[in-house]
Chain A
Amino acid sequence: MERISRPAVLTVLVATFVLGQIGFTRGEIYPFAPWDMFSRTPSIQETFRIRLHRLGERDFEPPQYLTEIPEFQEIMKNPINLVVIRKFGRAFVDGDASAGKLRPLMEESLGIQDAVYELVQVRYDVLVRYRTGEFSEAPLEIFEGSAAQP
């Protein structure tokens, strides 16, 4: 071990940097993260939200965003769920095949397998939105959760 310790740890350090930089553009190669959190300053944001029309037997009229429904507020505080929604929304808009795989994963993460929900694209300036609440929205598609389908 003494003989290989130097080249081995040097290799790990170099791999951490090189694979991290590659992951910056091509997606993370676990466990070599690109460490790019907070790297882009938010200004005009285009993101995706989920609006519920029905959950089990319960109808939402008018439809409500998950963040507005008390039992979903804890779930929506988890940044992992936000990323999953964003990834699904982006894949759906781009017509990417991964949308089909991400959808059941998102439904399971959010606990909306038996819901009828709507994918909505929203656009806003973060500071304006925080201060005034203003944002624009564009409904994209209404889905039935895997357990809600007949």
Chain B
Amino acid sequence: MSETPAGSSDSRPSPAELRWPWKNLYFPLREVIGELEPQWIRASTLVRLFYAFMIFQAVSSYNAWIILMERQEAQPLWPLFWTRFVPWEPAMFAIGLAFIFGAVAAALFPTNVIARLAAFLGMFLFESAKYSFGKISHNHHLIVGAALILIFLPRVVPAEDSRERSQRRYLEVFWAVQAYILLTYSMAGIAKLHGAVLDMLLDRRSLLSVEALASHIAHDYVSRGKSSALGMGEFIIANPWLGGPLFWGAVALEFFSFAIAWKPGLHRLWGMSLIGLHVGIGVAMEVWFRPVILMIGIFLLASPFAPAYRTFSFGLRDVPWLGPFLCGLWAEMRSQREKGSSKAAEVDHITVYLRPGWRFEAKIKALLSEPESAERFQILSMDGAEYRSLAESFPYLRTPQFMVVDSGRGESRQIRAGAEACLWALAHLRRSGWRNGFALLLIPNPLLELALARMSRSSPANDG
């Protein structure tokens, strides 16, 4: 986890959070929320942009609104149960008006909870009506879900004493929208893995087949009697070996998405990758999720939590599961290429702080003191004045830590704590970085994080 000097005392875990580790998984988002004021300013601007986008959606739905009023034979979804008691056409007229006026109200007054509630209800009912004819499509689900979550945005008050707290809550709600968007992709990844198991059990062509993507495209073309304008789909059907790995990569991208909510360093990269996924689907299958692309753009590409500056390796380490391995490999490659250069010296400036009495203290010390790595790592105790000085600048470090790594200089300076620090340091061992990374590849990061956190809590050194 990286932290910037302007943290908040609110980031300290409460006694309940220490007792129940699962609470640490979500709140208070130490890895995500850093400098409150600039992040809050960016987030509140994006919220305004989101509601402007809702106006665009409402206006774009004009033709659908007219058709809705004229249509008969609806099978209303549950939110429209009340349409059984009123005539359909006036009900649809009212819903259409609610959609546009709700969106306008929220765009004008995004700090007003009634306006945000109206925006959600208007779009929710309108979309429910659109999907009351036998098929629910998923182009606008993310907008409805985001509007639902954003209802709970707190008002950020100017008063000094509670401003930080309300800004933090505001950013948490904004983060929840990002998590919601990413969760839907992980659910899509889970569904594909589940489907693959079923297909294999039934001895059918499955996700593991190189022809999987070609089959999806062929199925789409056959069903809808069409093809892609650029011929990309036809190319993949003719060359299934190309589509297989592409599809597996897409499934991995989807599956790991939810974890990225906690990795602000990857918000932009992941957002761009998801947009790329939609562009690929659109070009190959002519199935476009245009509103979804803009939602990803607003909430992930423009993420207020993404660091302004990030080196390639610092982004790499956040990649789920493969991160430590890739990071170790990258460190190894750099060390070979830049041996002796001034750039290498800058990266080599790594200070490791260890808590005395931590159960892995001796082991980590021994590893970092190997002849090839000793010159690179400066190992200090957390009881020393240096660590106290560091904790002054980084309030998060005042909470109990078992290991902290301070690396880089200037803008590339990064502070890592806990299991991440441990993984990062091991992956940066000069001689055997990639091998350690490879070993760590076998352990899912969140499990290691939980295990180490638990160990550190049970350590007598941390009891005080």
Q: Which residues of A contact B (CB under 8 A)?
A: 1-2, 4-6, 8-10, 12-13, 16-17, 20-21, 24, 28-31, 33-45, 47, 67, 73, 76-77, 79-80, 82-84, 87, 101-102, 104-106, 108-109, 124, 126-127, 129-131
Nearest to A129 among chain B residues (CB) is B222
Asked if B79 CB lies within 8 Å of chain A CBs, one says yes
Q: List 28 A-B contacts (CB under 8 A).
A: A1-B153, A1-B155, A6-B27, A6-B169, A6-B172, A9-B173, A12-B145, A12-B176, A28-B136, A29-B78, A34-B191, A35-B191, A36-B191, A37-B191, A41-B195, A42-B205, A45-B219, A73-B225, A77-B224, A77-B226, A79-B137, A83-B134, A87-B134, A106-B134, A108-B72, A108-B73, A126-B218, A127-B215
**A43 adjacent to B191 (CB under 8 Å):** no
**B183 adjacent to A13 (CB under 8 Å):** yes
Q: Which of A6, A34, A124, A126 has the most CB of B within 10 A?
A: A126
Asked if B113 CB lies within 8 Å of chain A CBs, one says yes
**B135 adjacent to A9 (CB under 8 Å):** no
Query: Known contacts being A31-B124, A80-B137, is A127 close to B71, with CB within 8 Å?
Result: no
Stretch at the interface among B196-204, B325-333, B354-362, B453-461: B196-204
Chain A contacts for B73, CB-based, 8 A: 104-105, 108
**A41 adjacent to B191 (CB under 8 Å):** no
Secondary structure class of chain B's binding surface, majority of residues: helix
Asked if B138 CB lies within 8 Å of chain A CBs, one says yes
Beta-carbon contacts under 8 Å, B137-178 to A: 137-138, 141, 144-145, 148-149, 151-155, 165-166, 169, 172-173, 176
**A41 adjacent to B206 (CB under 8 Å):** yes
Chain B contacts for A38, CB-based, 8 A: 188, 192, 216
Query: Known contacts being A13-B183, A34-B187, A102-B134, is A47 close to B223, with CB within 8 Å?
Result: yes
CB A44 to nearest CB in B, in angstroms, measures 7
Nearest to A40 among chain B residues (CB) is B195
| Distance A45 CA – B205 CA, assembled complex (angstroms) | 11
| Distance A132 CA – B220 CA, assembled complex (angstroms) | 16
In-complex Cβ contact of A130 among B141, B145, B185, B237 (8 A): B237
Chain A contacts for B295, CB-based, 8 A: none
Chain A contacts for B169, CB-based, 8 A: 2, 5-6
**A16 adjacent to B145 (CB under 8 Å):** yes
| Distance A71 CA – B176 CA, assembled complex (angstroms) | 46
Query: Known contacts being A30-B128, A35-B187, is A42 close to B152, with CB within 8 Å?
Result: no
Asked if B382 CB lies within 8 Å of chain A CBs, one says no
CB A22 to nearest CB in B, in angstroms, measures 12
Asked if B212 CB lies within 8 Å of chain A CBs, one says yes
In-complex Cβ contact of A33 among B72, B136, B153, B154 (8 A): B136
* Among all A-B residue pairs, the 7 with the closest Cβ atoms: A39-B195, A9-B176, A42-B219, A43-B205, A67-B225, A130-B218, A2-B154
**A41 adjacent to B136 (CB under 8 Å):** no
Chain B contacts for A39, CB-based, 8 A: 188, 191-192, 194-195
| Distance A44 CA – B149 CA, assembled complex (angstroms) | 41
Nearest to B216 among chain A residues (CB) is A38
Asked if B57 CB lies within 8 Å of chain A CBs, one says no
| Distance A20 CA – B188 CA, assembled complex (angstroms) | 10
Chain B contacts for A83, CB-based, 8 A: 134-135
**B127 adjacent to A31 (CB under 8 Å):** yes
CB B117 to nearest CB in A, in angstroms, measures 11
Query: Known contacts being A44-B204, A127-B237, A130-B218, is A84 close to B135, with CB within 8 Å?
Result: yes
Query: Known contacts being A36-B191, A41-B204, A41-B215, is A79 close to B224, with CB within 8 Å?
Result: yes
**A36 adjacent to B134 (CB under 8 Å):** no
| Distance A101 CA – B152 CA, assembled complex (angstroms) | 39
